[in-house]
Amino acid sequence: MDGQVIRTEYSDIMQKSYIDYAMSVIVSRALPDVRDGLKPVQRRTLYDMYELGIRYDRPYRKSARIVGDTMGKYHPHGDSSIYGALVVLAQDFKMGLPLVDGHGNFGSIEGDGAAAMRYTEARLQKITQEAFLTDMDKGVVSFGPNFDETEKEPEVLPARIPNLLVNGSEGIAVGMVTSIPPHNLGEVIDAVIALIKDSELSDEKLLDYIKGPDFPTGGIVINKDELKTIYQTGSGKIKIRGRVELEKAKGGKERLVITEIPYTMLGANIGKFLNDAAALAETKKTTDIVDISNQSSKDGIRIVLELKKGADAEYLKNLLYKKTRLEDTFGVNMLAVANGKPETLSLRSILEHHIDFQFEIATKKYQNMLDKELHKKEIQEGLIRACDVIDLIIEILRGSQSQKQAKDCLVNGVTEGIKFKTAKSEKQAARLRFTEVQAAAILEMRLYKLIGLEIDALLAEHKQTLDNITRYEDILNNYQSMARVIIDELEGYKKEFGHPRKTSIENAQEIVLEEKKIEEFPVVFLMDRFGYARTIDESTYERNKEAADTENKVILHCMNTGKLCVFTDTGKQHLLKVLDVPYGKFRDKGTPIDNLCNYNSSEEAAVAVLPLEEVKSCELTFVTEAGFVKRVGGEEFDVSKRTIAATKLQEDDRVAAVKIADAQTHLVLRTKEDYLLRYPLEEIPIQKKAAMGVHGIKLGAKDKVAEAYFLDQEQVPEVEIRGKRVALNRLHIGKRDAKGSKVRGS
């Protein structure tokens, strides 16, 4: 087969292909249509349920049946996306107005997932059937082919309520995201009615009807004054707080009860809030919380914080708002598909699109109904006229050779070939001029229609048809009449399905949290050889000094408000707040230091734990296993970062010791092979923490520095080496980078 080679830039093909893909995702998958407020997967699922006859007044059907049918007919993108959409449509804590009636486990507000689709059942809600799927047979919306052109699906559902605002929407497309909060059905309907009556209604007046978002979880919107700008631009940030109530408990105590949560706290974020609230107590941000329990149920949210007697409940409430997600931000970006393309819409433009769509639906509906009534009128008039000349028509039928011949006579007055009783009858027949439709109806008419009561019923039906035609023509030709029909319909939905507002709208002041000053007192930091750390008061330590000194690797006197520097053999410094270390009794187990800072016991070992206050005012001496030494000014370690590199190391080198050099004048290095070298500290240069240091001792091929000791003029320290007691202050004073002297066994 002959082919044609088209030469083009590869980048041009990629750009065009990517744009096509992006628009497909934007329009056909991720973004809702402004007219019905539904994404394609939601629309297809609801339409499939309608097609299957799963109405609100009929039995539930298995979700798996709905998902399979939707996937096979309309949405070939996997069952998980369809079932996920079905589940969300049934969740009253996510939807302002649930569109599916779910039966079974459809998940919980705390983030529990729905049961598998083979276990759950569903059917349409009454509002969905009446406000989204009614009049589908009246040609009010266009249908298009499905993915394999074997079925027809609606391009949009004939939604009678502004669902984009009522239920909101969230979705991520290619390069864009939509986030529209839910609103109150009654308020939105009132705004639509007001805008139909007065298209010049100001934005301020619209906000008199739509106060703001109405989240299913309730809560309090606290930036009322910013809503006008958000609704005018279609984007912004809505600040939401949970609702907290104070209840009296036994013994004069009080409890804080959270009865409503921010919409953004749905799902796993409730568990995170509980952890964050518990962390406030564990980290001593507050000592007023005695217990936290989640007593939420199907009846609503109830998270209880038990307080100790005399607790400052107002301060604690503000602390929760400031330090947890009990106060959060909902980002608004009212992006939807309008006229076939994505567009960021204002509140007014969403309402105007909805109103235009309602008039379009009503026009198609009543034009369709008018056409049917005109068709009925034509038939009725033919039958009424036929009753007046019924004897002549019977004579034509008896004298005709075929149905075609009789019909030709009724329509065109052709009498040839028809046997008439009299010439007068033939003349009368020649003057008949029924329409094709009337003639067909006459030929199909049954004899019982000639009964007197049936003729009266026909005349009454004809009068009703004429009244309908007059009404439909008035609706189609008069804006006010059509508006009245739409308004009556909307008021009916509001009356039947409206509900009181759940979310309060107000202006609240920014919370300025004046943190209570923590009582400062000295403590003793203890860390055992397994890395479990705790603090105790000094008197407890003195009573248990012998046991504490024996059982713990690190014993450090410090202030409870201070910070500790944990230096590790990998050359890192981890900063640890003493307040983060659990404070308690002597026999408490403590908490692994890994959980208190960035320390990782599987990769590094603590060489020294020193109070930051002491470190800042002194010099630190670093000694590595490879024999490098240096002095560093302590101010370099006073940083805000939780972890920094405290020194530079050669590959495979490790820090052997980190010590504060205060009154000490000499350094003694001891190696694995028991070489000792003593020299003055002044021979070690002061360097930056990023330096590697200088050679402090010459080592053998396999030797390493094992320990470092500091001496002053008055100290007489002894160490035991190979069973021999060695007095360090009696060692010969040598030079830095010498080999030192080997200690022989006793």
| Alpha carbon distance, N-terminus to C-terminus of the chain | 100
Choices 3.30.1360.40, 3.40.50.2300, 3.40.190.10, 1.10.10.60: CATH for 243-325: 3.30.1360.40
Residue 644's beta-bridge partner residues? 573
Q: Can you give the pLDDT at residue 716?
A: 65
Residue 255's beta-bridge partner residues? 247, 306
Give residues with Cβ within 8 angstroms of 269, minimum separation 6: 111, 325
At 604, is the secondary structure helix, strand, or coil?
coil
Residue 492, judged by CB atoms within 10 A of its CB (0-12, 13-18, 19+), counts as middle
Concatenated DSSP letters of 45-114: HHHHHHHTT--TTS--EEHHHHHHHHHHHT--S-HHHHHHHHHHHH-TTT-SS--EEEES----TTSPPP
Q: Can you give the pLDDT at residue 17?
A: 67
Q: Can you give the pLDDT at residue 391?
A: 80
Q: Is 69 or 702 the better-scoring residue by pLDDT?
A: 69
Q: Give the residue extent of every domain in the chain.
A: 31-159, 243-325, 357-496, 517-608, 617-746
Concatenated DSSP letters of 387-435: HHTHHHHHHHHHH-SSHHHHHHHHHH---TT---SSHHHHHHHHT----
**Residue 746 scores a pLDDT above 60:** no
Residue 83's beta-bridge partner residues? none
Which residue in the block uniquely carries the two structure tokens 């016991």?
Answer: 601
Other C-beta atoms closer than 10 Å to the C-beta of 639 total 14
**Residue 130 scores a pLDDT above 50:** yes
Cα 611 from Cα 599, distance rounded (Å): 16
Helix ranges restricted to H, 544-699: 545-551, 612-616
Q: Can you give the pLDDT at residue 516?
A: 62
Q: Is 160 or 663 the better-scoring residue by pLDDT?
A: 160
**Residue 86 scores a pLDDT above 50:** yes
Poorest-confidence range of 14-23, 383-392, 422-431, 646-655?
14-23
Q: Can you give the pLDDT at residue 6?
A: 75
Q: Which of 371, 374, 375, 361 has its CA nearest to residue 136?
A: 361
- CA distance to 45, 342, 639, per residue, from 173 (Å): 20, 10, 42
**Residue 678 scores a pLDDT above 70:** yes
How does the average pLDDT of the chain come out, rounded? 89
Q: Can you give the pLDDT at residue 406?
A: 86
Q: Which of 633, 714, 710 has its CA nearest to residue 669?
A: 710
Range 559-590 burial, b when 16+ CB lie within 10 A, else e: ebebbbbbbbbbbbbbbbbbbbbbeeebeeeb
Poorest-confidence range of 22-31, 44-53, 242-251?
22-31
Q: Is 386 or 189 the better-scoring residue by pLDDT?
A: 189
Quote the percentage of the chain above a pLDDT of 70: 95
CA angle 12-13-14, nearest 5°?
A: 90
- CA distance to 90, 238, 242, 442, per residue, from 120 (Å): 11, 35, 32, 54
- Determine the length of the chain: 746
**Residue 720 scores a pLDDT above 60:** yes
pLDDT, mean of residues 451-464: 81
**Residue-wise pLDDT tens digits, 304-348:** 999 988 888 888 999 999 989 999 999 999 999 998 888 999 999
Residue 609's beta-bridge partner residues? 566
Residue 583 designated active-site: no
What tokens were used for 489? 């319909």
Which residue type, as a one-letter code, is found at position 718?
Answer: E
Cα 26 from Cα 650, distance rounded (Å): 54
Q: Can you give the pLDDT at residue 137?
A: 85
Other C-beta atoms closer than 10 Å to the C-beta of 243 total 18
Residue 237's beta-bridge partner residues? 331
Q: Can you give the pLDDT at residue 1?
A: 47
User: Percent helix, strand, coil in the chain (nearest 5)?
Assistant: 40, 25, 35
**Residue 704 scores a pLDDT above 80:** yes
Poorest-confidence range of 93-102, 367-376, 507-516?
507-516
Which residue type, as a one-letter code, is found at position 601?
Answer: S
pLDDT, mean of residues 160-171: 93
Cα 242 from Cα 531, distance rounded (Å): 40
pLDDT, mean of residues 448-457: 70
List the catalytic residue out of 18, 21, 119, 479. Answer: 119
**Residue 658 scores a pLDDT above 80:** yes
Cα 684 from Cα 667, distance rounded (Å): 9
pLDDT, mean of residues 389-398: 82
At 512, is the secondary structure helix, strand, or coil?
coil
The enclosing H or E element of 24 equals helix 10-25
Other C-beta atoms closer than 10 Å to the C-beta of 295 total 10
Cα 191 from Cα 420, distance rounded (Å): 70
Cα 13 from Cα 283, distance rounded (Å): 58
Q: Can you give the pLDDT at residue 663?
A: 65
Q: Check: pTM over 0.85? Answer yes or no.
A: no
**31-159 homologous superfamily:** Topoisomerase II, domain 5 (3.90.199.10)
Residue 19, judged by CB atoms within 10 A of its CB (0-12, 13-18, 19+), counts as exposed
pLDDT, mean of residues 440-450: 75
Looking at domain 357-496, its CATH class is: mainly alpha
Cα 419 from Cα 583, distance rounded (Å): 119
- CATH fold of 617-746 reads Neuraminidase (2.120.10)
Quote the percentage of the chain above a pLDDT of 90: 54
On whether the CB atoms of residues 572 and 645 are closer than 8 A, the answer is yes
Cα 247 from Cα 257, distance rounded (Å): 7
Q: Can you give the pLDDT at residue 515?
A: 61
Cα 26 from Cα 4, distance rounded (Å): 33
pLDDT band at 447 (very low <50, low <70, confident <90, very high): low
Concatenated DSSP letters of 449-475: GGSHHHHHHHHHHHHHHHHHHHHHHHH
CA angle 399-402-408, nearest 5°?
A: 85
Give residues with Cβ within 8 angstroms of 157, minimum separation 6: 36, 38, 43, 46, 47, 132, 133, 141
For 489, how many CA atoms within 13 A lie in the half-sphere containing its CB? 21
Q: Which of 712, 538, 563 has its CA nearest to residue 640?
A: 563
Cα 362 from Cα 533, distance rounded (Å): 74
Q: Can you give the pLDDT at residue 617?
A: 85
Q: Can you give the pLDDT at residue 152?
A: 93
On whether the CB atoms of residues 317 and 256 are closer than 8 A, the answer is yes
pLDDT band at 745 (very low <50, low <70, confident <90, very high): low
Cα 332 from Cα 182, distance rounded (Å): 11
Poorest-confidence range of 11-20, 103-112, 230-239?
11-20
Chain Cα centroid distance, residue 624:
51
On whether the CB atoms of residues 249 and 308 are closer than 8 A, the answer is no
Q: Can you give the pLDDT at residue 452?
A: 59
pLDDT, mean of residues 506-517: 76
Tell me the helices (H) and strands (E) count for the chain, helix number first. 21, 35
On whether the CB atoms of residues 27 and 105 are closer than 8 A, the answer is no
